[in-house]
């Protein structure tokens, strides 16, 4: 009898200890909101959580790159659109200036208007971003890209051909900047010089046809670049949706491994509390037992 009582006593001690351990674990899960308090609680789940964390971190970086690219390209697109609007007016002036009915005074008035447009377009091509860098200077962001040469006869490009790319997904990149030379031309030939040539032709009374054709050519090129900017922005928008879905799915799946299911934990806590109470009651009965209970 003593052996059976001691065995029962020992078993109850074990049951109480295990119940207390389970109860403490559940209380920790409820207080922290985390299923696992340390990696050893579930090594396999910990490994999965770490994988999910890497995916989430990578996805967040891609989304940040998309945000940066959208800001840059949207600003660039707005600037290019303003240049296109100005060139449409230049084309109208070229058509009027090529009319034989125009007097010298009329041509001078048109040339004066072109002078203002030229300054405006130059300002657009030398636009700076929020960080103070010249948007169309390539990698030379601290250098004003388009400047009038010392003789005042032509505009020169001072930037380079650098293009910036950012990762927006696994094995997916986007061009987030464009050098001015790719859109508006370089020192050899650029849209500013075509406007300047048209202005000079009107002032001197010479045939503006060549300059007018040059303006038309640059207009077509810039409109084409504007369309490419729009395409890139649509790619970014689509990719943002894809990454949002991926991150939502990954975070939800991670939560199944890492986060406390409060309904389940509270239910389990109630069961464990009942089991612990029963173990204590059983233990109390064992303590009250004595050899005389059995002899009598």
- Residue 155 sits in the same domain as residue 278: no
Give the model confidence (pLDDT) of 132-178 as tens digits: 999 999 999 999 999 999 999 999 999 999 999 999 999 999 999 99
Closest residue by Cα to residue 246 from 39, 56, 15: 56
Question: Does 236 lie in the same domain as 188?
Answer: yes
Residue whose structure tokens are 């790619």: 235
Sign of CA dihedral 245, 246, 248, 253: positive
Domain-located, residue 9: no
Q: What is the distance between the alpha carbons of residues 109 and 102, in angstroms, rounded to a whole number?
A: 11
pLDDT-derived band at 98 (thresholds 50, 70, 90) equals confident
Is the domain of 189 the same as that of 266?
no
pLDDT per position as a tens digit, 204-244: 989 999 999 999 999 999 999 999 999 999 999 999 999 99
Output the average pLDDT for the chain: 87
Asked if residue 172 belongs to a domain, the reply is yes
Question: What pLDDT was estimated at residue 171?
Answer: 92
pLDDT at 280: 66
One domain, residues 206 and 293:
no
Sign of CA dihedral 273, 278, 281, 282: negative
pLDDT at 199 over 60: yes
Please give the backbone phi and psi of residue 177, each rounded to the nearest 5 degrees, phi first.
-140, 160
75 and 218 belong to one structural domain: yes
140: exposed, middle or buried (C-beta count within 10 Å: 0-12, 13-18, 19+)? middle
Give Rg (Cα) of the chain: 38
pTM confidence score = 0.79
The torsion angles phi and psi of 178, rounded to 5 degrees, stand at -130, 135
Q: Is residue 193 part of a domain?
A: yes
Are 279 and 15 spatial neighbours (Cβ–Cβ below 8 Å)? yes
How many other β-carbons are positioned within 10 Å of the β-carbon of residue 239?
Answer: 19
Do 236 and 286 sit in the same domain of this protein?
no
Encoded tokens for 183? 């859109």
HSE-up (13 A, CA, CB side) for residue 204: 9
Q: What is the pLDDT of residue 296?
A: 46
* Domain region containing 95: 51-252
pLDDT value of position 55: 97
Pair type for strands 165-169 and 146-148: unpaired
Q: What CA–CA distance (Å, rounded) separates 153 from 43?
A: 74
To the nearest 10°, report the CA torsion of 139, 142, 145, 151: -140
Tell me whether residue 82 is in a domain. Answer: yes
Kindly state whether residues 216 and 120 are assigned to the same domain: yes
CA distances from 21 to 31, 41, 269, 282 (A): 15, 12, 12, 18
Q: Is residue 204 domain-shared with residue 116, that is, in the same domain?
A: yes
Handedness of CA 164, 168, 172, 174 (dihedral sign): negative
What value does the mean pLDDT take over residues 180-201? 96
State yes or no: pLDDT of 101 exceeds 50: yes
| The predicted structure's pLDDT at residue 38 | 79
pLDDT in tens, 110-121: 999 999 999 999
Report if residue 146 sits inside a domain: yes
- Cα 29 to Cα 25, 197, 206, distances in angstroms: 6, 76, 86
Both structure tokens of 178: 């464009």
Counting the structural domains of the chain, the total is 2
- For 212, other C-beta atoms within 10 Å of its C-beta total 21
| 84 and 220, same domain (yes or no) | yes
272 and 204 co-located in one domain: no
Q: Do 121 and 148 share a domain, yes or no?
A: yes
Cα–Cα distance list, 72 to 5, 183, 212, 229 (Å):
80, 15, 32, 10
């Amino acid at each position: 009898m003593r052996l059976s009582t001691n065995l029962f006593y020992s078993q109850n001690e074990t049951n109480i200890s295990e119940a207390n351990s389970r109860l403490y674990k559940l209380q920790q899960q409820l207080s922290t909101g985390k299923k696992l308090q340390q990696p050893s609680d579930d090594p396999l789940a910990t490994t999965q959580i770490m994988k999910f964390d890497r995916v989430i971190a990578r996805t967040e970086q891609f989304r940040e790159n998309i945000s940066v690219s959208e800001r840059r390209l949207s600003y660039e697109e707005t600037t290019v659109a303003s240049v296109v609007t100005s060139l449409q007016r230049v084309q109208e002036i070229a058509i009027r200036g090529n009319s034989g009915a125009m007097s010298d005074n009329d041509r001078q008035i048109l040339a004066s208007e072109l002078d203002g447009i030229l300054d405006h377009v130059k300002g657009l091509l030398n636009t700076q971003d929020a960080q103070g860098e010249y948007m169309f200077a390539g990698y030379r962001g601290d250098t004003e890209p388009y400047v009038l040469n010392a003789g005042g006869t032509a505009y020169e490009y001072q930037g380079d051909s650098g293009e910036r790319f950012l990762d927006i997904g696994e094995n997916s990149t986007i061009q987030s900047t464009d050098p001015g030379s790719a859109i508006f031309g370089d020192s050899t030939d650029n849209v500013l010089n075509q406007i300047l040539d048209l202005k000079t032709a009107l002032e001197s009374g010479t045939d503006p046809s060549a300059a007018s054709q040059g303006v038309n050519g640059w207009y077509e090129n810039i409109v084409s670049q504007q369309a490419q900017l729009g395409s890139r922005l649509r790619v970014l928008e689509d990719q943002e949706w894809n990454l949002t879905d991926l991150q939502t799915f990954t975070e939800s799946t991670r939560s199944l491994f890492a986060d406390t299911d409060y309904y389940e934990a509270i239910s389990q806590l109630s069961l464990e509390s009942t089991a612990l109470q029963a173990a204590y009651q059983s233990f109390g009965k064992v303590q009250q037992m004595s050899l005389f209970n059995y002899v009598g």
